[in-house]
């Protein structure tokens, strides 16, 4: 791992970010969503709605920005050159993740300040947020590597948002508690983060870790594919 290469990648991305209006709109849209929820509901929001806002932030901002930046490099035929440069996979991931991480933290703090940040000022909630960030970050990297163009990421972002970002909204469809859909979606990262916050600790922690490992493997496979593609 080279700090110099990481900072070079970070410097390039931080300069390019303000030039991309589509990427700038992602954190703005998330803050607007938090404001709408805050104005719609009187008093303190239910914890599941707070996690919907967190899921929206992590899916739109973390995954969305990450996959868009990498897909744009794919489209411009610069990603393969970066991968084949002396920079290692870790250098590339950390360098590109720094911009996304900074924007995510700022966006998350602003959104939670709007709806109420107090419930997340505890150890369990913070651990859950960190783990979910890693999952959405790796998922965004993998999809970005898989995408052939920037336009294609729009089609991939919507399923990520609805499957993984807005998972708590499944309850509004009033499925039976023992239905297959509810049982499956209850194992998703954001639902396990809610479980981690409210009840048990180790089991949700392990399940989220499995999701992170799965996302990491997906990213690695996509990385190898980019390296070997003609």
Which residue from 179, 140, 185, 194 is spatially nearest to 167, judged by alpha carbons?
185
Q: How many domains does the chain have?
A: 1
3-state helix/strand/coil string of 36-82: HHHHHCCCCCCHHHHHHHHHHHHHHHHHHHHHHHHHHHHHCCCHHHH
Q: How far apart are CA 224 and CA 228, in angstroms?
A: 6
63 pLDDT more than 80: yes
Specify the pLDDT at position 8.
78
Percent of the chain with pLDDT over 90: 13
Domain that holds residue 186: 3-228
Range from 53-57, 109-113, 223-227 carrying the lowest mean pLDDT: 223-227
Q: How far apart are CA 133 and CA 97, in angstroms?
A: 11
Average pLDDT, whole number, for the chain? 82
For the record, the structure tokens of 106 come out as 């700022």
pTM score, two decimals? 0.88
For the record, the structure tokens of 96 come out as 């590109």
Specify the pLDDT at position 58.
92
pLDDT tens-digit series, residues 158-210: 888 888 888 888 766 766 677 788 788 888 999 899 888 887 788 889 999 99
């Amino acid at each position: 791992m080279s700090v110099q290469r990481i900072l070079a990648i970070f410097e390039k991305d931080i300069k390019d970010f303000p030039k991309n209006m589509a990427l700038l709109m992602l954190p703005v849209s998330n803050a607007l969503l938090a404001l709408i929820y805050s104005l719609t509901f009187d008093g303190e929001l239910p914890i599941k709605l707070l996690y919907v806002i967190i899921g929206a932030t992590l899916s739109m901002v973390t995954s969305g920005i990450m996959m868009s930046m990498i897909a744009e490099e794919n489209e411009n035929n610069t990603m393969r050159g970066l991968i084949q440069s002396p920079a290692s996979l870790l250098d590339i991931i950390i360098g590109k993740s720094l911009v996304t991480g900074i924007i995510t933290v700022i966006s998350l703090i602003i959104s939670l300040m709007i709806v109420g940040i107090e419930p997340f000022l505890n150890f369990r909630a913070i651990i859950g947020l960190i783990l979910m960030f890693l999952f959405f970050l790796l998922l965004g990297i993998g999809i970005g590597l898989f995408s052939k163009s920037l336009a294609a990421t729009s089609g991939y972002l919507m399923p990520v948002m609805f499957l993984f970002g807005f998972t708590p909204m499944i309850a509004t469809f009033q499925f039976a508690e023992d239905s297959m859909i509810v049982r499956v979606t209850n194992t998703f990262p954001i639902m396990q983060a809610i479980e981690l916050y409210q009840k048990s600790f180790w089991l949700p922690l392990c399940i989220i870790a499995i999701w992170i490992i799965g996302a990491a493997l997906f990213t690695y496979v996509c990385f190898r594919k980019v390296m070997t593609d003609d």
